[in-house]
Amino acid sequence: MPIRNRLAELHDEIAAWRRHLHENPELMYEVHETARFVESRLREFGVDEIATGIGRTGVVAVIRGRRTGSGRVIGLRADMDALPIAEATGAPYASKVPGRMHACGHDGHTAMLLGAAKYLAETRNFDGTAVLIFQPAEEGGAGARAMCDDGLMERFAIEEIYGMHNMPGLPVGQFAIRPGALLASSDEFEITVTGRGGHAAAPHEAVDTTLVAAHVLIALQSIVSRNVDPIRRVVLSVGIFETDSASSNIIAHRVRMEGTVRTLDPECRALAEERVRRIATDTASAFGAVAEVVWTPGYPATVNHPEQTVHAAEAARAVAGTVIDNVDPVMPSEDFAYMLERRPGAYIFIGNGDTPMCHHPAYDFADDAIPAGSSWFAELVERRMPVG
């Protein structure tokens, strides 16, 4: 029985929740209405405990199995926040809020976990406790870390933690996972180079900051090609490069650039930071300019624990019939990484079919993936905490 019959029956109801959330997107920690909607549904299902305000606006539901003698506790997590993007899907349930949309499918993640909550509260066919986590601020706000800092893992005695994200390009309802790093760390840097401005016709009296900064920019690309072990994966991109010159006949005094570094392991992450700092300051110095580097650490790499990856893959195989269990890592990042730093667990991709990529204005979550996604959550709980 790949998809649980009950969850197949609930498909339309879960899709209706998903579309309601899609119409009413909220950003970062300001997911007040979304959290209230989640809380209301959980009350209707008759879960055993509901805690709100964890990590500011996170919601947690506790569902006990028909037996709890095993003492086991499994955590399942979904994210609730949307993005500051103007929606271009033309869907009848498109965002009602200008400039905001669920462009990453977190509406689908929340609805699928609610579907699992309804099923688990009805059936309770497990020996232990399921803790369902609805978190705010995945998109840049580190909501997962905020919930952990609020004592999430200890308060609910969570032993293992599992999460899921939809993946455009993977067939609907298929699953893909790998042990080890699945998503990258994401750090940002800002480099300000200061030379000496002047007249473009008298460069010998100036220190041409644009030229210096251009050397820095090019040298930064030697980090990936010359410093990083070729079998490791690192991305360094500079997205902003601006001078303070207002005219073609003025030599800039100051140049500012901003970039991002993505890596899959802490060694590469530390190496990249050290090299960015050194290249910027020493290159500038060689030209008689000064560089200042501000390094802002973002999410760490999302690293799946080997044993829990096997459990997650087995549950996926049971639901979908097959699973890709050694998919290539991808270089976006995900704050579920913080939960995996605190407890063993795993993060899996569920296919969203042939849709635009996440964060695209025409992206939409595939409602057809709902039964598989909700079933995977339920399957994990029943497999990891079997009755008898």
Return the number of the residue (104 or 213) whose C-beta is nearest Ni ion. 104
Rounded-to-integer distance, Cα 190 and Cα 260, Å: 9
| Residue 305 token pair | 């624990």
Instruction: Tell how far CA 250 is from the center of its chain.
Output: 43
Pure H helices in 192-305:
209-222, 266-286
Return the number of the residue (139 or 159) whose C-beta is nearest Ni ion. 139
**Which residue sits closest to Ni ion, CB atoms considered?**
104
User: In whole angstroms, how close is the CB of 367 to Ni ion at the nearest point?
Assistant: 17
Rounded-to-integer distance, Cα 279 and Cα 289, Å: 13
Return the number of the residue (104 or 146) whose C-beta is nearest Ni ion. 104
Rounded-to-integer distance, Cα 228 and Cα 302, Å: 20
Longest distance between any two alpha carbons in the chain, whole Å:
85
Q: Which residues pair with 164 in a beta bridge?
A: 348
| Residue 360 token pair | 């695209």
CB contact at 8 A, 178 and 304: yes
At residue 316, φ and ψ (nearest 5 deg) are -65, -40
Residue ranges in contact with Ni ion by CB under 5 A: 104
> Cβ atoms within 10 A of the Cβ of 108, count?
30
N-to-C CA span, the chain: 20
Per DSSP, the residues of 54-79 read: ETTTEEEEEEE-SB-TT--EEEEEEE
Return the number of the residue (80 or 316) whose C-beta is nearest Ni ion. 80
User: In whole angstroms, how close is the CB of 184 to Ni ion at the nearest point?
Assistant: 14
User: In whole angstroms, how close is the CB of 6 to Ni ion at the nearest point?
Assistant: 27
User: In whole angstroms, how close is the CB of 359 to Ni ion at the nearest point?
Assistant: 8
Is the alpha carbon torsion for 250, 253, 255, 256 positive or negative? negative
Rounded-to-integer distance, Cα 333 and Cα 179, Å: 16
Return the number of the residue (75 or 143) whose C-beta is nearest Ni ion. 143
Return the number of the residue (253 or 262) whose C-beta is nearest Ni ion. 262
- Whose tokens are 């990484």? That residue is 337
Return the number of the residue (137 or 212) whose C-beta is nearest Ni ion. 137
> Cβ atoms within 10 A of the Cβ of 325, count?
18
User: In whole angstroms, how close is the CB of 168 to Ni ion at the nearest point?
Assistant: 11
| Residue 78 token pair | 């979904």
Question: Which amino acid, 17?
Answer: W
User: In whole angstroms, how close is the CB of 334 to Ni ion at the nearest point?
Assistant: 7
Return the number of the residue (60 or 104) whose C-beta is nearest Ni ion. 104
User: In whole angstroms, how close is the CB of 138 to Ni ion at the nearest point?
Assistant: 6
User: In whole angstroms, how close is the CB of 104 to Ni ion at the nearest point?
Assistant: 3
Return the number of the residue (105 or 198) whose C-beta is nearest Ni ion. 105
User: In whole angstroms, how close is the CB of 57 to Ni ion at the nearest point?
Assistant: 17
Rounded-to-integer distance, Cα 193 and Cα 296, Å: 18
